[in-house]
Amino acid sequence: MTEHHEHREQSLTSATEARGLEALISRAARAGKGAAPVERWNPDFCGDLDMEIKADGTWFYLGTPIGRMPLVQLFSSVLRKDADGRTYLVTPVEKVGIRVADAPFIAVEMDVSGSGDDQIITFRTNVGDVVEAGPERPLRFLDENETGGLKPYVLVRGRLEALVGRPVMYELVGHGEEIEIGGETMFAVRSKGAVFPIMPADRLKRLSA
């Protein structure tokens, strides 16, 4: 009984072996029933954990991929990105830092319904979140200077974003149109009444030439 109690009370930051990971899973499971209210929790910072989300959305623990999707979904439910730009796993009693190479989520599928101002673009992430882009869940487009390409992101919750995967990005851009924004003609997409500029229309024409 004592051993079981010690096991449950083990700090997240001491999860450096199988038994430690079980402690981490146990705490996350108690906190993460769906998307947990992590924004309302203010636990003490307990240090960093050797966990990383790679640019392709794969989660690693101690340098090894976490292959169990239910476990990844569980951890993703207690993620929070703070104003310091770092991403944490947060429970009501502990907060540990993890590494994120790009965005914590990947948008792997999209659906478009309606048209014009009534158009709604909905994304599904690799961990099962379903997000409608709009005023509260904006899209942003980041220039990739090294490739000359674009990296679109959609806000999922809090400060956590999903990188729109390349196949989905091509589908997204296919719904773009020229829209006048602030006196400049922009190539942009609409969703839930909001307009999200991708790039100036004349730049797109130069790239397409």
- Same domain, residue pair 67 and 39: yes
Same domain, 140 and 162: yes
Predicted structure pTM score? 0.83
| Residue 94 backbone dihedrals phi, psi, to 5 degrees | -145, 155
Taking CA atoms, 48 is separated from 34, 96, 98, 128, 204, in Å, by 24, 5, 6, 26, 43
My answer on whether 121 and 86 are in the same domain is no
pLDDT, residue 139, reads: 98
CATH number, domain of 76, equals: 3.10.540.10
Q: How do beta strands 45-53 and 95-100 pair?
A: parallel
**The domain boundary residue, chosen from 67, 100, 133:** 100
Residue 93: exposed, middle, or buried by beta-carbon count in 10 A (0-12, 13-18, 19+)?
middle
Q: Residue 153 belongs to what domain range?
A: 105-208
- For the stretch 50-59, pLDDT in tens is 999 999 999 9
Model pLDDT for residues 139-196, shown as the tens digit of each residue: 999 988 766 678 999 999 999 999 999 999 999 999 999 999 988 999 999 999 999 9
Total domain count, the chain: 2
Domain-terminating residue out of 100, 135, 169: 100
CATH value at residue 188 = 2.30.270.10
